[in-house]
Structure 1
Amino acid sequence: MKILAIDTTSGACSVALYDQGEVREAFVRAERDHTRRLLPMVDQVLAEGQSSLSQIDALAVSRGPGSFTGLRIAISCVQGLAFAADKPVVPVSSLSALARGAVRENPGWLAEPLPVLAALDARMQEVYWGLYDAAKPGVALIEDRVSAPDQVVSALVTGKYIAPSDPRAPILAAGPGWQYPQLADLNPAQLTLDAAIHAQDIAALAADLWKQGAAVSADALEPAYLRNEITWKKRERIRPAK
């Protein structure tokens, strides 16, 4: 199985080729120029893997949540490649990829069975977040959502993942969304604030999803903004009167 994965969800740009369990990745932290960088990175990774677009089984991409612009860039690129090569697409949660990457870079996290709370800064004093099984990051314990930091804490208490009296929350923490004091005050067992989303983790998660029949056609690919209604209302408020 060969899967080509692309991500521009946050402040990074990455492309990876998954080939029978082996992964090659090109990764660069870049706030801008994603559009200019992507296709050369695709060519680079395919060349290193001695593969062509016609030889892959599917493409994979982060469906979100994340930066509106970043999601649109990656999804548009994947749709274009998928249409050109007549290949299906496997959408992957950016937060599950963030959780998987944090565990991959911190193998000691698997020493105790704690859940991973992946969080991205959603601006407007909110975070995109989801809770995942550290041993199986593709398994969501709490599905992706956007919330104020104090609502995240309430959801964890309600789900009995933490207790209000605990001096240290029995969870693992990954992602820049943890910069908010209400989350930092949870004092998680382990914290990786600078965790990034990598295409190699999207590719590995997509391989499992592919086996489960989760691929879609390019024209059916939809981003998971989680904030569609809020954004629409905001645009309505700022739209000039006719």
Structure 2
Amino acid sequence: MKLLAVDTATARLCVGVRNGDQSRSDASTGSAAHARSLPQRVSDLLAAMGLTPKMLDAIVVGVGPGSFSGLRIGMGFAQAMAWALDRPLVPVGSLEAMAAHCLQRNHQAEAVWAALDARMGSVYAACFGPDGSGELRPRSPVQEWPAEAFFHARAVDQRDAANDCRRTWLVGNALGLAQAQAVDAGVWGGVDAEALPHPEPLLRLGAMRLAAGHHVSAQALTPLYVRDRVALTRAQRAAGEQLGAP
């Protein structure tokens, strides 16, 4: 199976290529100029793996949630390639990719809360667990939360979970929004405040989903948008309303 994977939903530009049992990935963080660097990185990785675009079986693409403009860069690029090559697209959620990466590296974990900084004091978050086949089982819907409400709810969850809490991980750059006392690393199986989507789980999940027939055409690809509004009116702010819903 020959796959290309792309995710530009966050500040990390993720590109991966799989050729049979071999894969190579490129994940760089720190520049939002994905549109300028994405085509060259894809070209370089394909060449390094001895592939041309026409040899690809499918394209795996991160569909968010994440930055609106960043997300559209990767999805637009993947759609254009899929259209030109007449290849299927395999959508993978960016939070799913984060959770899958954590579960692969930490086999004792039974669940992962993945949380991305959604700006404006909010987070995009969802919980996932392994299903025994290498796939992920959602344990909560993908939602936008006010950051304070999200971290308070997770703290309550951990206290209520008692002995089970040590098998749940909390990962994602949204942890940078938490007050120090809001995330007690001692009650989690692990905490990773640097986690972002990574190409390897995109390739792995993409391969499984393609084999299972879970793919879409270029014209049918849709982003995973969670936020239905990006600002509050003065009256809404004065009334204490917040973006996101707990």
Equivalent residue runs for 1:176-191 within 5 Å: 176-179=173-176, 180-181=178-179, 183-185=182-184, 187-191=187-191
Tell me which amino acid in the other structure corresponds to 2:115.
Answer: A
Long gaps (5+) in structure 1? 238-242
Seen in structure 2, the aligned counterparts of structure 1 residues 165 and 185 have a Cα distance that, compared at 3 Å, is: same
Seen in structure 2, the aligned counterparts of structure 1 residues 84 and 30 have a Cα distance that, compared at 3 Å, is: farther
Paired with 2:203 and 2:63, the residues of 1 have a C-alpha distance of 13
Give the match for residue 128 of structure 1: 124
Matched, 1:54 2:54: yes
Give the match for residue 139 of structure 1: 137
Contact 1:99–1:137 (CA<8 Å) still a contact in 2?
Answer: no
Cα shift readout 1:191-227 (whole Å, capped 9, x = no counterpart): 1111121122211111111122211000111111211
Give the match for residue 238 of structure 2: none
Give the match for residue 32 of structure 2: 32
Percent identical residues = 29
Contact 1:3–1:18 (CA<8 Å) still a contact in 2?
Answer: yes
Deviates more, 1:170-179 or 1:61-70: 170-179
Long gaps (5+) in structure 2? 236-246
TM-score normalized by the length of structure 2: 0.82
Paired with 1:183 and 1:18, the residues of 2 have a C-alpha distance of 40
TM-score normalized by the length of structure 1: 0.84
Seen in structure 2, the aligned counterparts of structure 1 residues 137 and 156 have a Cα distance that, compared at 3 Å, is: farther
Paired with 2:142 and 2:161, the residues of 1 have a C-alpha distance of 26
Equivalent residue runs for 1:1-242 within 5 Å: 1-104=1-104, 107=105, 109-110=106-107, 112-134=108-130, 136=134, 138-149=136-147, 150-151=149-150, 153-154=152-153, 162-164=158-160, 166=162, 169-170=165-166, 171-179=168-176, 180-181=178-179, 183-185=182-184, 187-227=187-227, 229-231=228-230
Give the match for residue 241 of structure 2: none
Cα RMSD (Å): 2.6
Paired with 1:226 and 1:43, the residues of 2 have a C-alpha distance of 32
Question: How far 1:155 sits from its partner (Å)?
Answer: 7.3
Tell me which amino acid in the other structure corresponds to 2:229.
Answer: I
Tell me which amino acid in the other structure corresponds to 2:140.
Answer: I
SS in 2 for 1:230: coil
Deviates more, 1:91-100 or 1:143-152: 143-152
Tell me which amino acid in the other structure corresponds to 2:95.
Answer: L
Tell me which amino acid in the other structure corresponds to 2:90.
Answer: V
